[in-house]
Amino acid sequence: MARVIEHFGDQNLAIDFIIKKLAKISVSAIRERGICTIALSGGKTPIPLYKKLGIRKNNIDWSKTHVFLADERMVPQDHPDSNFGVIDSVLLKKINIPRENVHTAILANTYEEEIQKVFKLRPEQFPRFDLILLGIGADGHTASLFPGDPVLNERDHIAAEVHNQSARHGRITLTLRTINEAANVIFFVSGKDKSKMVEQILGANPNIPAALVKPIRGNICFVLDRVF
């Protein structure tokens, strides 16, 4: 695992860095395998990134890109709390991506089957996403992997349902094992209130889910916007 930490005092600079990195990953993946696979996270932090990604010219061939969700709330897609609903409105509807290349999470088992189909996996195999974009919650959760939740120990499934008391809705999340199989993971973290949490994550505190993200054969990059 190669770990890189990038500090930016300006959010736009952080976003530009991520877009350039995504474009580079996309070009390489499409050249090697014909498609690029990315999983996006919800939340407020990445919305400016998604908006800029939707209007900025770049080297991303969306016709050969498959977009997944790192996690989703178990609500209708037109619900205000739906990760897909937000990502769809600020990004996916703005770009020329085939709708069959957009993969949403409705139930954990059907989502897992969809991922297996796209990646052409045998039942016991795990996908290797080209990029998974993650955020960090105030409690150190990432995707929908919460501190102390039994789902953190899931090793047999690509995706799992989460019913955590700290979450308003039931959720579906990529499992920690799936995330750690990715070729590239980017954490996009914004706000000085996250500084102490980031310090604990970088210090590998085993009680914090985000600190457990350690790609086995991939790279991890922390893009920090005004965190310190």
For residue 221, list its beta bridge partners.
4, 186
DSSP 170: -
CA atoms of 98 and 115, how far apart (whole Å): 17
CA atoms of 213 and 216, how far apart (whole Å): 9
Q: Where are the alpha helices (DSSP H) in 34-119?
A: 47-55, 83-90, 108-119
Residue 167 has pLDDT above 80, yes or no: no
- Please state, in angstroms and as integers, the Cα–Cα distance from residue 155 to each residue in 33, 129, 162, 182, 213, following that order: 27, 17, 15, 15, 14
Q: Do 60 and 23 form a contact (C-beta atoms < 8 A)?
A: yes
φ, ψ dihedrals at 120, nearest 5°:
55, 55
Residue 227 has pLDDT above 80, yes or no: no
Residue 26 has pLDDT above 80, yes or no: yes
What does the pLDDT read at residue 172?
A: 96
3-class SS at 226?
A: coil
Nearest to 144 by CA among 175, 181, 99, 103: 175
14-180: what fold? Rossmann fold (3.40.50)
What average pLDDT does the chain have? 93
- Tens of pLDDT, residues 75-93: 989 898 899 999 999 999 9
Q: What is the mean pLDDT of the segment spanning 6-14?
A: 92
Cα 165 versus chain centre, distance: 22
Confidence grade of residue 228 (pLDDT, cut at 50, 70, 90) = low
Half-sphere exposure of 74 (CA within 13 A, CB side): 16
Contacts of 104-109 with C-beta under 8 Å, sequence gap 24+, read 104/69, 104/72, 104/77, 105/69, 105/71, 105/72, 105/159, 105/172, 106/172, 107/161, 107/172, 108/157, 108/159, 108/160, 108/161, 108/172
DSSP 145: B
Here the tokens at position 31 are 């050249």
Confidence grade of residue 19 (pLDDT, cut at 50, 70, 90) = very high
CA atoms of 129 and 40, how far apart (whole Å): 11
Quick one: CA torsion of 10, 11, 15, 17, rounded to 10 degrees? Answer: 20
Q: Kindly provide the residue ranges of all beta strands, DSSP E only, lying in 13-167, ordered along the sequence.
A: 36-40, 65-69, 71-73, 131-134, 159-162
User: Roughly what angle, to the nearest 10 degrees, separates helices 47-55 and 83-90?
Assistant: 30
Confidence grade of residue 141 (pLDDT, cut at 50, 70, 90) = very high
Q: What is the mean pLDDT of the segment spanning 40-48?
A: 94
Question: Which of the residue ranges 3-7, 74-78, 99-103 would you say has the lowest mean pLDDT?
Answer: 74-78
**0.85 cut: is pTM over it?**
yes
Question: Which of the residue ranges 85-89, 117-121, 200-204, 219-223 would you say has the lowest mean pLDDT?
Answer: 200-204
